[in-house]
Amino acid sequence: MYGPKPRPFQFIAMRKMIFLSGLLALVLVACKNNAADQSFFDTQSMDSSVHPGDNFFVYANGGWIKTAKIPDDQSGWGSFYTLYDENQTKLKALMEKAAAAGAANGSLEQKVGDFYTSGMDTALLEKKGAAPLQTMLQKIAAAPSVNDLMVLLAGAEKTGEGASFLSFYVGADERRSSHNILTLSQSGLSLPEKDYYTKKDSFTVGVRQQFQQHVARYFELTGMAPAAAQADAAAVLALETSIAASHRSPVELRDPLKNYNKMAVTDLAKTYPNLPWAAIFSAMGIQPDSINLAQPRYYAGLGQLLKTVPLAAFKAKARYDYVAGKAGLLSKAFRDENFAFNKTFSGAKKQSDRWKQMVSRTDNSLKDLVGQLYVAAHFPPESKKRMDELVNNLQAAFEKRIGALDWMSDSTKTRAKEKMGAFLKKIGYPSTWKNYDDVTIKKDALFENALQVAAHDYKETMAKLGQPVDKTEWGMTAPTVNAYYNPTFNEIVFPAGILQFPFFDGKADDAINYGAIGMVIGHEMTHGFDDQGRQYDAQGNLKDWWTASDAEKFKAKAGGVVAQYNNYVVLDSLHVNGALTLGENLADIGGLAIAYDAFKMTPQGKGQEKIDGFTPEQRFFLGYAQVWRLINRPETMRTRITTDPHSPEEYRVNGPLANFDPFYQAFGVTEKHKLYRKPADRAKIW
Ligand SMILES: [Zn+2]
């Protein structure tokens, strides 16, 4: 999941979750609302000149693809984007209403309304200019040594003002999932991943040049002279290039065992003595006994750099990180510069309207407060009830499939069923809403409001240390158009935001709902059993429950899926990365099969009645393809291929179908069609 500035591995609390989609449509335009009496599958959007067996994604969506236009402020367009866009419009109305309510100071409406308003007063932001940055910039400038700088930045995390040399979150200990632990991760890069610092192709060389100019412009905006700004920008790029050498790649980060390195803090200090650990933790206000050092090489590398790179370079990097993190809270010059650089990765042609930026920021800041307003207005109780039924039906279908697997021993099957039966299921919104009682929001203080929220989040996160894991917590806000599986909770989570057309509609026939949200549910369930998820047990512990021979068989089957997706060429010579996308592809392949089996248990699935000329089975596959109806700008595609664990949408449709026998039968697919795979080559795992 990423926005225009992709930092997909720097989530804090959300680091371990596995999302349905990597698309985070940060900026969208208003478009028509889906009327209640719509047709649930739009035959006009198809392209019947293409045989379904040659390219089902284009067969189902080709008519739409030919006429679809990506709005100028978007990185792509289609299902996720339009639904996100509708939610933005709904949230805007709720936030404006809250702002106009004249609610009592400290009330939910006052906080939401005033937070939103504080970002809409752009005249006030102009007047403040770079002034809000100065206190922290001066502190950075005054740090007498690298150790002092590290301690300053660690302490500044308390108000969301730390720089990114340290990246940490508190979450379940993977080997003791009922207890929280502090995890330190690799950090310090501004470009999407390590290879952007070394690749020699003209695109990537250009990205590095643009990055350096971008850093220099930020420095000038804070008052530096051009020559000094240029010199410091070069130092930032050089330092990040050195840091990148110690980073793990996105593929390496997918290995849970490799990224679990629990150690006593006393050993941390002995093994990585170049960092002032005791002072860092003290500045952070915590006293952990042990931590998970997820990527040790990064901290070893950072320790070396602290001894060899001049203090001035670290300060320049800290200043850049600080400004970049706050640009959206500042005057137009900062916001424009932020957009000008980020469009390299998103391809967007113009900046989104301010209200859209503030709707997102308010939702991401006052999460549960906004969620309460959204759920009360837009999530009917019937939706929750219908989803409960669907999830239970999918679970029953999955259990049957596990029982029928021809490659797995009975003992592993028993464990698999136990894990599947233990799924924690969360639908719509949290059972208890969190409050923000310690947060004061003012309508003329966007910058300070953001610091207040960051301070609240920090306190809440650190309060978990030493406490048992609270499994009622959510990792996404209720309006989010996405879903996730969280391996240490062994949970599947579907926020209210995604439980709408085209993913879900209480009035649509079962073929459409099972092909759409059914597949989404099956996808999240399968994550519990993909190449990562299968390494966690029913309680969410990283603990092997497989027989050696079943594990070997699984790996061989997964290897076939890696090879299949490696062959998909997306853009010029860019291929899908089969290893990076393996978990998502396995979830798509499994999710499709489980959803199909569950559909076949419904009256419509058992019948033969055609709708719009399509059999129930054909309609199921069309509903599935419709959910992934989406086009991307080339710039977005390039960024996604290097960092997003999800395959591009075309392959999220064609890849699983090419492995699925009922698809061949439903559309008469044979050797002469392009999607055809020999029966022995078709991936049948879950
Ligand atoms: Zn997924």
Average pLDDT over residues 125-136: 97
Contact between residue 26 and residue 3 where contact means Cβ atoms under 8 Å apart? yes
d(CA 408, CA 425): 26
Domain membership flag for residue 124? no
Q: For residue 460, name the pLDDT band (cuts at 50, 70, 90).
A: very high
Residues 580 and 466 in one domain: yes
Residues 293 and 382 in one domain: no
- Which residue intervals of 49-162 are DSSP H helices? 56-67, 79-100, 108-120, 122-128, 134-142, 146-156
Q: Which helix (H) or strand (E) holds 283?
A: helix 277-284
What confidence score (pLDDT) does residue 228 get?
A: 98
What confidence score (pLDDT) does residue 573 get?
A: 82
Q: Let me know how long the chain is.
A: 686
Q: Cα(293) to centroid of ligand 1, in Å?
A: 25
Average pLDDT over residues 463-468: 94
Residues 612 and 485 in one domain: yes
277 pLDDT exceeds 50?
yes
Q: Cα(646) to centroid of ligand 1, in Å?
A: 7
Q: Give the orientation angle of helix 202-221 with respect to helix 226-244, to 10 degrees.
A: 130
What confidence score (pLDDT) does residue 19 get?
A: 65
Residues 65 and 177 in one domain: no
Q: Cα(16) to centroid of ligand 1, in Å?
A: 12
Of the candidates 1, 4, 609, the one whose C-alpha atom is nearest the C-alpha of residue 351 is 4
Residue percentage of the chain with pLDDT more than 90 = 91
What confidence score (pLDDT) does residue 674 get?
A: 98
User: Over the stretch 76-108, which tens digit does the pLDDT of each residue have?
Assistant: 999 999 999 999 999 999 999 999 999 999 999
Q: Cα(380) to centroid of ligand 1, in Å?
A: 26
What confidence score (pLDDT) does residue 313 get?
A: 98
CATH, residue 161? 1.10.1380.10
User: Quick one: DSSP state of residue 294?
Assistant: S
Q: Cα(426) to centroid of ligand 1, in Å?
A: 16
Token pair belonging to 183: 């995890």
Residues 323 and 373 in one domain: no
Q: Cα(525) to centroid of ligand 1, in Å?
A: 9
CATH, residue 597? 3.40.390.10
Contact between residue 444 and residue 127 where contact means Cβ atoms under 8 Å apart? no
What's the total number of domains in the chain?
A: 2
Task: Starting at the earlier edge strand, list the strands of the sheet with 290-293.
Answer: 167-173, 176-185, 290-293, 262-264
Q: Cα(584) to centroid of ligand 1, in Å?
A: 5
Determine how β-strand 424-428 pairs with β-strand 491-495.
parallel
d(CA 595, CA 511): 10
Q: Cα(494) to centroid of ligand 1, in Å?
A: 12
Domain membership flag for residue 340? no
62 pLDDT exceeds 90?
yes
Q: Cα(523) to centroid of ligand 1, in Å?
A: 6
| Domain end residue (candidates: 329, 344, 377) | 329
Domain membership flag for residue 677? yes
d(CA 192, CA 9): 9
Residues 371 and 510 in one domain: yes
Q: Cα(60) to centroid of ligand 1, in Å?
A: 22
Q: For residue 11, name the pLDDT band (cuts at 50, 70, 90).
A: very low
Residues 626 and 484 in one domain: yes
What confidence score (pLDDT) does residue 524 get?
A: 97
DSSP letters spanning 362-424: HHHHSHHHHHHHHHHHH--HHHHHHHHHHHHHHHHHHHHHHHH-SSS-HHHHHHHHHHHHT-E
What confidence score (pLDDT) does residue 113 get?
A: 98
d(CA 646, CA 384): 27
Residue with tokens 């949970």: 491
Contact between residue 490 and residue 423 where contact means Cβ atoms under 8 Å apart? yes
Contact between residue 49 and residue 383 where contact means Cβ atoms under 8 Å apart? no
Domain membership flag for residue 109? no
Residues 301 and 422 in one domain: no
Amino acid present at 306: L
d(CA 627, CA 79): 6
18 pLDDT exceeds 70?
no
Which residues are 78's β-sheet partners?
Answer: 630
Ranking 13-27, 268-282, 303-317, 338-352 by mean pLDDT, the lowest is 13-27
Dihedral, 338, 339, 340, 341 alpha carbons, nearest 10: 60
Q: Cα(495) to centroid of ligand 1, in Å?
A: 14
Residue 601 φ/ψ, nearest 5 degrees: -90, -10
Domain membership flag for residue 428? yes
Of the candidates 524, 529, 523, the one whose C-alpha atom is nearest the C-alpha of residue 418 is 529
- Among 491, 530, 588, 644, the active-site one is 588
DSSP letters spanning 642-661: HH-SSPPHHHHHHHHHHT-H
- 598-to-119, 396, 528, 594, 602 alpha-carbon distances in Å: 47, 8, 18, 6, 7
Residues 464 and 400 in one domain: yes
d(CA 486, CA 424): 10
Give the per-residue SS3 of 550-571.
HHHHHHHHHHHHHHHHHCCEEE
d(CA 423, CA 487): 10
Contact between residue 516 and residue 653 where contact means Cβ atoms under 8 Å apart? no
Q: Cα(94) to centroid of ligand 1, in Å?
A: 30
- 552-to-407, 556, 559 alpha-carbon distances in Å: 11, 6, 11
Residue 647 φ/ψ, nearest 5 degrees: -70, 155
Token pair belonging to 200: 């020699």
Domain membership flag for residue 618? yes
14 pLDDT exceeds 50?
no
What confidence score (pLDDT) does residue 41 get?
A: 80
Residues 547 and 635 in one domain: yes
Residue 353's CB is within 10 A of a number of other CB atoms, namely: 16
- Among 193, 232, 337, 524, the active-site one is 524
What confidence score (pLDDT) does residue 2 get?
A: 23
Residue 263 φ/ψ, nearest 5 degrees: -150, 155
What confidence score (pLDDT) does residue 162 get?
A: 87
| Domain end residue (candidates: 303, 329, 355) | 329
Token pair belonging to 323: 């400004």
Give the per-residue SS3 of 145-213.
CHHHHHHHHHHHHHHCCCCCCCEEEEEEECCEEEEEEEEEECCCCCCCCHHHHCCCCHHHHHHHHHHHH
| Domain end residue (candidates: 283, 309, 329) | 329
Q: Cα(553) to centroid of ligand 1, in Å?
A: 22
What confidence score (pLDDT) does residue 36 get?
A: 35
464 pLDDT exceeds 60?
yes
Domain membership flag for residue 98? no
User: Over the stretch 169-217, which tens digit does the pLDDT of each residue have?
Assistant: 999 999 999 999 999 999 999 999 999 999 999 999 999 999 999 999 9
Token pair belonging to 22: 């990597």
Residues 322 and 449 in one domain: no
Q: Which domain holds residue 539?
A: 18-22+47-91+365-681
5 pLDDT exceeds 90?
no
What confidence score (pLDDT) does residue 9 get?
A: 25
- Known catalytic residue at 524: yes
What mean pLDDT, rounded, does the chain reach? 93
Q: Cα(447) to centroid of ligand 1, in Å?
A: 35
Contact between residue 118 and residue 443 where contact means Cβ atoms under 8 Å apart? yes
